[in-house]
Amino acid sequence: MLAALVAATLAACTGGATPQEPAPTTLAPDAAATPAQGPTPTSEVTVHETGPEGFPGAYAVPEGLSADDPRPAVLAFGGSEGGSQGGRAFAEAIAGLGYPALGIGYFKGVDQPAALEEVPVETFLDALAWLREQPGVDGDAVLAFGASRGGEMALWLAANRPDLVQGAIAPVGADAIMCGYPDASVSAWTLGGEALPCSADWTAASDADPAARIPVDSITGPVILACGTEDDVWYSCGYLRRAERALDSRRQGTIVAIVGEGAGHDVSPPPWMEYSTGDAARDAAGLDARRQLWSAVDEVLASLDS
């Protein structure tokens, strides 16, 4: 059940409007979808729509979450597809592993920008503030999970707002603030109404522009990166290697860098969901990278669970 839902939501490219006062939905672990390797979702998940809270998305709560035993939590979001569907799917997968997660959209939603251009960072800051206030959430163990174009924002949040975010998961993301899409003449992001300096280096052929570079070396908590060597969307392994070089100077915090040999851009979906690009060799390589990524996610969250 969960695998089918995740596959459908990751494929969606529509906005994230939500119904009025929706009832929570409950998802059970799909034993038939358990991968041969990698983590296994074991928790029943209850999903609450967050539209009434002021942002499109879903709060996924694992069975047994209690204010008496707070757990690490994750703010999750997708990439340039827009809408909240990618974030929701990641949040439900993380909750299946036993951790609360809030999945949001940041453009193409109600009262949001129509494109990945001049998106307010405050969207993420407001969502983080809400998440940290939820019963059962350990406010000192919150990670940001952003895939593809969301990856740069996950890293930016962990680097620049350590009071809110203690680490980042950024599969196929960039190590710099990138310019808008499709209009690269403007920044993708704003803070306080001012555009963040951005880079239009889509190939990672040289060092990141200092003004746009994300100071990933200042992140004190865990950082998980992943890329595919056959990524035909952008040069995700170039961004990973640049980030890895910067992270090497850190004296604390876990670093996991997964290079998917032969994999494409799609290394972020959970390995227990069915996912196919139509290329058997690339799918096999992608599945291996996905298993490594989600094993790292599971292990890092477990390490933060005091």
Is this prediction's pTM over 0.85? yes
| Res. 62 pLDDT band, cuts 50 70 90 | very high
Question: Which of 34-43, 111-120, 157-166, 228-237 is predicted least confidently?
Answer: 34-43
Question: 33 vs 61, 204, 272, CA distance in Å?
Answer: 20, 36, 5
Helices (H) and strands (E) in the chain, counts: 6, 12
> Looking at 118-206, which runs of residues are DSSP E strands?
119-120, 137-146, 167-171, 189-191, 194-195
pLDDT the model gives residue 1: 33
In whole angstroms, give the CA distance from residue 153 to residue 86.
Answer: 15
Residue range 40-60: average pLDDT?
91
> 31-40, 133-142, 240-249: which has the minimum mean pLDDT?
31-40
pLDDT of residue 109: 92
| pLDDT above 50 for 8 | no
> At residue 228, does pLDDT exceed 50?
yes
Any idea what the Cα angle at residue 140 is, between residues 252 and 268, rounded to 5°? 70
Residues 114-136 have pLDDT tens digits of: 999 999 999 999 999 999 999 99
Question: Average pLDDT of the chain?
Answer: 88
Whole-angstrom Cα distance, residue 306 to residue 300? Answer: 12
CB-side exposure of 280: number of CA atoms within 13 Å? 0
Proportion of the chain above pLDDT 70, given as a percent: 88
Name which residue leads in pLDDT, 21 or 151: 151
Residue 240 has pLDDT above 60, yes or no: yes
Q: How far apart are CA 2 and CA 216, in angstroms?
A: 33
